[in-house]
Amino acid sequence: MKFLENLFDKNRPPKDRWYFYLYEVVQNFFFSAKVATTGKTHIRDKLDVQRVMVVVWLATFPAMFWGMYNMGYFGLDYMVKGGFTSTGDWHNWLIQLAGTDVNNHFHRFWFGLVYFVPIYVTVFVVGIACEAIFATIRRHEINEGAFVSTVLFSLSCPPDIPLWQAATGIAFGIVVGKEFFGGTGKNFLNPALTGRAFIYFAYPSELSGDMVWVASLADNGAIDGYSGATALGIGALEGLAGMQANFTWGETFFGQIPGSIGETSTFLILLAGAYMVYAKIASWRIIFATLIGMFL
């Protein structure tokens, strides 16, 4: 790694070049920033913004991987019950590389992977591009918060979201929810949730209802006796009795239900929160104060 570090240092462009901050973000991806504050009025800590964002990003991985597996289960289960041999869209040729056996764990995971990775790659590229453009114009570093915003936005999307809508949503979230207010530390809106709210109201028919939470359902159409509704969707129509008739408490807690890619498993989300508290990224006092405030 010393060779790579020397290579970066040797080819480091002058700060007045427009691509300096793009170069710096690539270097900081591999190595921590060498510049540290020395003033007596500042607190120096090993935990910098880069490390904070990486920890938060890693904390999403369990929910991400489970989301892909869960998405694959419901997608393949729907195809079997409907007698379909194709997802009805461009994902199908990739899915067929592994197979469509609903009882095969790898096939489930591969199915979800084929749907999720294009969403995440699209959101990541567009989100980082928006961040890079504003950083270049304003002559400041690219903040690693964009890594977190892109993964959170991706995990909040339904499985079958069109890629252009995902790109539109994250671009709106980064630009309007963050950069319009001056960037990191000055925005009062969460970029990921701002983008998600925007596409929800901009394209309600494609981001709500019972047809969007199971991959390939919107392309192949509804079948008798099968519902792609979420637990909350069923609860809104049929109440608690309807929810209990379709899902057990264990299924809703551990995430064996349809929904947005990364939000189905309460257990894994709580686990991610506990990990961030343990890593001293999140404050348990703020978390509990927020929860208590919900009931006051």
41-55, 160-174, 254-268, 274-288: which has the minimum mean pLDDT? 41-55
Q: What one-character-per-residue DSSP string does 233-270 give?
A: HHHHHHHHHHHHHH--HHHHHHT-S-SSTTTS-HHHHH
Torsion of CA 271, 216, 249, 247, to 10 degrees: 180
Residue 38 to residue 151: CA distance in whole angstroms:
34
pLDDT band at residue 180 using 50, 70 and 90 as cut-offs = confident
- 56 — alpha (psi -120 to 50), left (phi > 0) or beta? alpha
Specify the range with the lowest mean pLDDT, choosing from 163-177, 220-234, 251-265, 269-283.
220-234
The rounded distance, in Å, linking the Cα atoms of 217 and 121 is 23
252 vs 32 pLDDT, higher one: 252
Q: Which two tokens stand for residue 22?
A: 């793009």
User: In this structure, which amino acid lies at residue 36?
Assistant: A
Rounded Cα distance between 39 and 54, Å, is 26
Q: Which residue has the higher pLDDT, 76 or 18?
A: 76
Hunting for tokens 């489970």 — which residue is that?
66
- How large is the average pLDDT for residues 7-17? 69
CB 172 within 8 A of CB 195: yes
pLDDT 10s digits, 246-263: 888 899 999 998 989 999
Distance CA 211, CA 126 (A): 27
59: closest CA among 279, 285, 291? 279
Nearest to 200 by CA among 174, 173, 221: 173
Task: Give the number of other CB atoms < 10 A from CB of residue 53.
Answer: 18
Residues across the chain: 296
pLDDT at 158 over 70: yes
Sign of the C-alpha dihedral computed for residues 272, 275, 281 and 282 taken in this order? positive
Residue 151 has pLDDT above 90, yes or no: yes
Q: 145-155 and 105-138 are packed helices; what angle lies between their axes, rounded to 10 degrees?
A: 140
Mean pLDDT of the chain: 84
